[in-house]
């Protein structure tokens, strides 16, 4: 990454985190100069470096990269930060030694959320340009978000408080800092109740809390003591994903995941564009993966009448597809996502002249959303405020949000196989082209179920294949999932 900084003459970012994983794990996320994820073409180089078996092999790979990409060996510029894992301090010391060896300039931003580092990276690289993103500091991040939040609210009132589970990760102290910049509940602002923000006892990170726990277990964290019809949200360990949930009047748990956030945002932005007189000038689209619930796809295409594009799993694929729209909305079901406004859309929003007070109000809200939303990457704190703005404008609680459509029952099954590499997926991972004949058997099984849909996708990290299935009822879904799992198991040996 230091070499990429040299190539472009810009600053790049390195975030030390393992996100939603247990506290004993750790890793890195790499940030390109525009605050987005690492450009895909650089992944091969990073993999070569990581797999070098000796100092000599690493040095040779390093020199080869310099020659191959014609890199000017002037000083690179790198910023980095970490989450709250104990191993982070050791990894910081290793990283600084590596940066010194590469003769790179660097700045340690200490504890940040992953999206905050993305934000600062982009701010540093756009400072003084026509595309200046903001003040490159943690305070600048809070101030920009708070000002945009206030402008987007446009005097609307909130329907009760929101309780936020911070996964006992870095999002806890950072959310408390953000709250200091927001209007207090006594002044008509949003009341945010912070829970699971213990960053002292590292073993509590992501333990029976956080977005991944809620999504995987389909229940609220035990510590939440969720009250009926009150809204709750959970972040993950580095605060780059968020899911909402509530318990209905009879105590039944209801998840409002990334699919729900995407449909809520797309509906609101589409309505604002029409109300501002820009309905024909802004193409709003939604990007999903094959894991998106079929009911959400039908709601977007049939009720919202917006286009949907399906991509391979992975935020880098979703983000790239979202940039093809004037306004691209993407969220994975796990709650990682954002909204991307194209340069054309931003220019139209700046230059548009409203023809009535109603158009003016909608336009002001839409403009505020472009700065409230962290467009570089999924940002749980930004997405939290976005959802709260939308619910306030609509006068909705979580129940009304949940009633927009009914999820199809779905099931995810893990199937161990001898060699995952034989399972080759195409069509945005919705079909298998190999082993031969397997997809035809899956199609035949799916055809026997009402609203049936199923696909199999090889794991990227282990010899296993994940089977997704959905159908009209829970019993049919389970039956379909097991039938497809059996087909995969037989093909996988």
Positions marked active-site: 19
| 327-331/337-341 β-pairing | antiparallel
| 162-165/231-235 β-pairing | parallel
Return d(Cα 3, Cα 62) in angstroms, integer: 9
Cα dihedral sign, 32-426-327-338: negative
In terms of Cα–Cα distance, which of 266, 205, 276 is closest to 236? Answer: 205
Q: What angle do CA 127, 36, 112 make, to 5 degrees?
A: 80
Beta bridge partners of 327: 284, 341
Question: Got the DSSP string for 96-152?
Answer: HHHHHHTT-EEEEEEE--HHHHHHHHHHHHHTTSTT----SSHHHHHHHHHHHHHHH
In terms of Cα–Cα distance, which of 157, 169, 123 is closest to 143? Answer: 123
* Tokens found for residue 471: 């159908």
3-state helix, strand, coil in the chain (%, to 5): 45, 20, 35
Residues sharing a CB contact under 8 Å with residue 356, sequence separation 6 or more, in sequence order: none
What is the signed CA dihedral for 29, 32, 35, 38, rounded to 10 degrees?
A: -50
């Amino acid at each position: 990454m230091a070499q990429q900084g040299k190539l472009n003459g810009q600053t790049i970012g390195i975030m030390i985190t393992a996100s939603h994983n247990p506290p004993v794990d750790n890793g890195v996320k790499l940030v390109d100069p525009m605050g987005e994820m690492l450009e895909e073409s650089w992944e091969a180089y990073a993999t070569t470096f990581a797999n070098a078996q000796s100092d000599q092999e690493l040095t040779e790979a390093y020199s080869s990269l310099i020659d191959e990409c014609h890199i000017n060996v002037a000083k690179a510029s790198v910023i980095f930060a970490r989450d709250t894992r104990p191993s982070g301090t050791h990894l910081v010391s290793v990283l600084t030694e590596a940066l010194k060896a590469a003769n790179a300039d660097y700045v340690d931003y200490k504890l940040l959320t992953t999206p905050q580092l993305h934000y600062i990276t982009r701010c540093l690289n756009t400072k003084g340009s026509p595309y200046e993103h903001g003040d490159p500091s943690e305070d600048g991040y809070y101030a920009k978000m708070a000002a945009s939040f206030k402008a987007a609210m446009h005097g609307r009132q909130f329907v009760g408080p929101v309780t936020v589970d911070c996964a006992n990760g870095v999002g806890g102290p950072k959310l408390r800092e953000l709250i200091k910049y927001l209007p207090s509940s006594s002044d008509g602002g949003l009341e945010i109740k912070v829970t699971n923000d213990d960053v002292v006892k590292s073993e509590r990170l992501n333990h029976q809390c956080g977005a991944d726990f809620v999504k995987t277990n389909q229940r609220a964290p035990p510590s939440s003591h969720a009250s009926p019809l009150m809204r709750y949200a959970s972040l993950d360990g580095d605060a780059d994903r968020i899911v909402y949930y509530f318990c209905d009047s009879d105590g039944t748990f209801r998840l409002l995941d990334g699919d729900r956030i995407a449909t809520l945002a797309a509906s609101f932005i589409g309505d604002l564009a029409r109300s501002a007189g820009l309905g024909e000038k802004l193409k709003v689209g939604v990007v999903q993966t094959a894991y998106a619930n079929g009911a959400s796809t039908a709601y977007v295409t049939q009720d919202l009448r917006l286009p949907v594009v399906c991509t391979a799993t992975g935020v880098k694929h979703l983000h790239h597809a979202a940039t093809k729209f004037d306004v691209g909305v993407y969220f994975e079901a796990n709650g990682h996502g954002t909204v991307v406004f194209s340069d054309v859309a931003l220019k139209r929003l700046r230059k548009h002249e409203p023809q009535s007070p109603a158009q003016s109000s909608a336009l002001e809200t839409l403009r505020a959303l472009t700065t409230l939303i962290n467009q570089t990457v999924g940002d749980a704190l930004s997405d939290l405020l976005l959802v709260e703005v939308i619910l306030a404008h609509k006068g909705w609680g979580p129940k009304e949000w949940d009633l927009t459509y009914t999820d199809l029952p779905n099931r995810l099954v893990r199937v161990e196989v001898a060699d995952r590499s034989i399972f080759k997926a195409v069509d945005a991972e919705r079909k298998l082209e190999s082993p031969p004949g397997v997809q035809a058997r899956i199609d035949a099984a799916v055809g026997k179920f009402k609203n049936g849909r199923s696909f199999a996708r090889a794991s990227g990290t282990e010899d296993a294949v994940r089977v997704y299935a959905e159908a009209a009822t829970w019993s049919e879904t389970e039956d379909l999932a097991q039938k497809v799992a059996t087909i995969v198991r037989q093909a996988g040996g």
